[in-house]
Homo-oligomer: A and B are copies of this chain.
Amino acid sequence: MKVEEILTAMSNKGLRITEQRKTLAKLFVEHSGYLAPKEVYEHMSKMYPGMSFDTVYRNLRVLHEMDIIEQFMFEEGVKFKLHCHAHDHHHHFICLECENTVPFEFCPMDYVKTVPDGFTPVKHKFDIYGYCDSCRH
């Protein structure tokens, strides 16, 4: 996804394109891993000295509600990344060091044969954590 597409989508919803939102969109487009609100804030306040935390939260929520970014719960708290539109259904490799993610299409649900009596599966979570090439020691 490109910065332009994100801004156009926001514009079409009647939202205003501010400098902060441009910077935020650019940040997510250029960063393939997860970002915590604090990391977003730190990045943004470099270019916007008066940047406030609530603007970060507000805009993260806007992007999340528009399905432009997705939310993920880590042990350390919430993080966000650009939503994957690439494949239909997929899962992720996530680097424990740099948190960059690589999608893959294999889905374990294709191999699950039996579920407990009377249990109705609705959704599932499958992620593989490890170290990517550059972060391996």
Contact = CB atoms under 8 A, between A and B. Distances in A.
A135 to B, nearest CB: 9
Given A126-B124, A128-B121, A106 B111 contact: yes
Q: Give the size category of A's interface with B.
A: 35 or more
Contacts of A112: 106, 128
Majority SS at the chain A contact face: strand
Interface stretch (A7-15, A32-40, A54-62, A69-77): A69-77
A43 B85 CA distance: 43
Nearest to A103: B116
B132 A116 contact: yes
A116 B90 CA distance: 14
